[in-house]
């Protein structure tokens, strides 16, 4: 497979990560294909990861192409100088905007809860005349999400915490709504995409922004729900 490359120069490479792909090898996984090794082989040089996306999450990722650039980029993430905006599809009508301030464990099992903060704003909403759960209709929201901290599965856990589970989340989501989207819209993935990433170039210091590529699942839902992407 080839990864979609959004930008590449001597210091960094920016890609669009597909859903369902681990970033690097893990002792807990038997996967044989990973983002890190695939990108390395694709561009013919070593790459350094500076942040992470969950296996199920798609979207924009940046890699350093030398140790100094990787350190600079990683430092920007650690100092919360990077703007990360995600697009998510949530069950229910989410408030127009809000902040979720709720501790999250970095480890799936055990570990000390760490401070975690997520900002969100609703972009669009829809009500369908279908009784997926106990109500006669079903409501969904398209949400822009900005995590201010980077805990493991933070966005997914935070939206579960406020009872607006993300569609396609098989770990923290709602099985009835996941099944509805599989059967009616052919959605077999987590509807969470790293939509926009903004940081400073490690060499020039220039502010740069990269946006995720269009994805067929999102385009399908935008058309089905008459949501206009140009206004989002």
Residues 198, 96: Cα–Cα separation, whole Å: 24
Pairing of strands 192-200, 207-211: antiparallel
Cα angle at 85 between 79 and 91, to 5 degrees? Answer: 130
Q: Catalytic residue numbers?
A: 54
Closest CA to 119 of 142, 94, 148: 148
Sign of the Cα torsion 56, 60, 63, 68 reads: negative
Pairing of strands 58-64, 192-200: parallel
Rg value, the chain, Cα: 18
Residues 24, 26: Cα–Cα separation, whole Å: 7
């Amino acid at each position: 497979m080839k990864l979609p490359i959004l930008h590449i120069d001597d210091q960094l490479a920016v890609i669009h990560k597909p859903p369902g792909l681990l970033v690097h090898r893990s002792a807990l996984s038997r996967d044989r294909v990973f983002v890190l090794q695939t990108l390395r082989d694709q561009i013919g040089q070593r790459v350094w990861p500076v942040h992470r996306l969950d296996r199920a999450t798609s979207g924009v990722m940046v890699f350093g192409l030398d140790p100094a650039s990787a350190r600079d980029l990683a430092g920007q993430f650690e100092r919360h100088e990077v703007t990360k905006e995600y697009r998510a599809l949530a069950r229910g009508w989410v408030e127009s905007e809000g902040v979720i301030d709720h501790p999250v464990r970095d480890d799936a099992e055990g570990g000390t809860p760490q401070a975690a903060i997520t900002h969100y704003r609703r972009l669009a909403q829809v009500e369908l005349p279908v009784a997926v759960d106990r109500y006669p209709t079903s409501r969904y929201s398209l949400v822009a999400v900005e995590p201010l901290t980077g805990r493991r599965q933070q966005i997914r856990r935070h939206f579960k915490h406020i009872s607006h589970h993300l569609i396609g989340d098989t770990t923290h989501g709602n099985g009835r709504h996941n099944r509805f989207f599989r059967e009616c819209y052919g959605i077999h993935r987590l509807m969470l995409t790293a939509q926009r990433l903004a940081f400073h170039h490690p060499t020039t210091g220039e502010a740069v922004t990269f946006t995720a590529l269009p994805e067929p699942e999102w385009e399908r839902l935008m058309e089905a729900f008459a949501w206009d992407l140009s206004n989002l």
